[in-house]
Amino acid sequence: MSTKKNEQVCFRTMIGGQALMEGILMRGPEKQAIVCRTENGIVEKVEPLNLVKDRHPILGWPLVRGVVTLVDSLAKGMKALTYSASLLPEDQQEEPTKFDLWLEKHLGSEKAEKIAISVAAVLGVALALTLFIFLPTILAGLIPGLEGRYTLRSLIEGVIKIVIFLLYLWLCTRVKEVKRLFAYHGAEHKTIFCYEKGLPLTVENVRPQSRFHPRCGTSFLLVVIILGLLAGLLIQVDNILLRICLRLLLLPVIIALAYELNRWAGRHDTNIVSRIVTWPGKQLQHLTTSEPDDGMIECAIRAMELVIPEEKGKDAW
């Protein structure tokens, strides 16, 4: 089956997902569902979506919603990932640290969990900033002969970012647990494609679908990096610290533009320009997705079924 034929859909849904530890998170317009496979069978958890933009409509405006959506998805995704990890067999779970035990003793398990998730999210953001802003800027600054050659320096910083990103993803594929995570990621994409084609959600219908979806979060990250490379051309200073500060100031703008670009490309995926925009992200998904087994597909199907709205078309993209 050709890729073009495999990606023809009759409906584009806003339902999106995330791979978890032995499970899937699917998020619809009204609720999100976590479905995980455990030693004792399938575990399901459904929660209503309380979006900040529903309380503050201005946060849903174009060029504002991108950053808000990213922060909200990061928080909900980290919480879901932590929950899925807690369902793993005890011999596969990490031992709680002394800090974790101290938090639970003084604050209770619920507050301790919230703090732990917040700390993990902050550390994740700090790692991302270190790898994709601080490190490339510092490394490029160590190269002699770039003083005053701002365009060349920005291009070198961009190339370093892309190399770090690809190397990081490749190293992730070497880890057994992450490889299974990427297989669940593939199951998520296949299930969404099956639903968008209007086919019954069965393992047999989901299995042949493409695992390369144009509205993937991984593709969004790549777009952020590429836009960051272009935005870096506007930075006309040599001082490393000042360059880092300017990049941090530009980051919310880049995220906002990347979100709107991905949103437009997802709605117009038959457009030639859209295909060009989404092509790099789909190639990247050769690293971040892999072929799932039937059990993984079953989890993705069930998660999808739990978030499809009763009102037909309410989840239209």
Contacts 24+ apart (CB under 8 A), 59-64: 62/260, 63/256, 63/257, 63/260, 64/256
The predicted structure's pLDDT at residue 2: 40
Instruction: Report if residue 127 sits inside a domain.
Output: yes
pLDDT, residue 1, reads: 39
* The two three-digit tokens of residue 124, written as one number: 């994740």
Identity of residue 43: V
Tell me whether residue 199 is in a domain.
Answer: yes
pLDDT in tens, the chain (317 residues): 344 444 566 788 999 999 999 999 999 999 999 999 998 899 999 999 887 777 888 888 888 888 998 888 888 888 999 899 889 887 666 666 666 666 666 677 667 667 777 888 888 889 999 999 999 999 999 999 999 999 999 999 999 999 999 999 999 999 988 999 999 999 999 999 999 999 999 999 999 999 999 888 888 888 999 999 999 999 999 999 999 999 999 999 999 999 998 888 877 777 888 888 889 989 999 999 999 999 999 999 999 999 999 998 889 87
**What would the pLDDT profile of 276-285 be if each residue is shown by its tens digit?**
888 998 999 9
Distance CA 113, CA 100 (A): 9
Q: Is 172 exposed, middle or buried, given 0-12, 13-18 or 19+ CB atoms closer than 10 A? A: middle
DSSP code at position 48: E
Q: What are the backbone dihedrals phi and psi of residue 18, each rounded to the nearest 5 degrees, phi first?
A: -150, 140
In a domain, 257, yes or no: yes
**pLDDT at 92 (0 to 100):** 67
Residue 252 covered by a domain:
yes
Query: In degrees rounded to 5, what are phi and psi of residue 86?
Result: -70, -15
Determine, yes or no, domain membership for 312.
Answer: no
- pLDDT tens digits, one per residue of 155-212: 999 999 999 999 999 999 999 889 999 999 999 999 999 999 999 999 999 999 999 9
| Domain span holding position 72 | 3-307
What pLDDT was estimated at residue 3? 44
314 within domain boundaries: no
* Residue 22 within a domain: yes
- The pLDDT, as a whole number, for residue 56 is 81
Number of separate domains in the chain: 1
192 within a domain of the structure (yes/no): yes
- Please tell me the pTM assigned to this model: 0.87
**pLDDT score for 124:** 87
Residue 73 exposed, middle or buried by CB count within 10 Å (0-12, 13-18, 19+):
middle
Looking at residue 225, its pLDDT comes to: 92
Query: Where would I find the H helices in 233-293?
Result: 240-267, 272-288
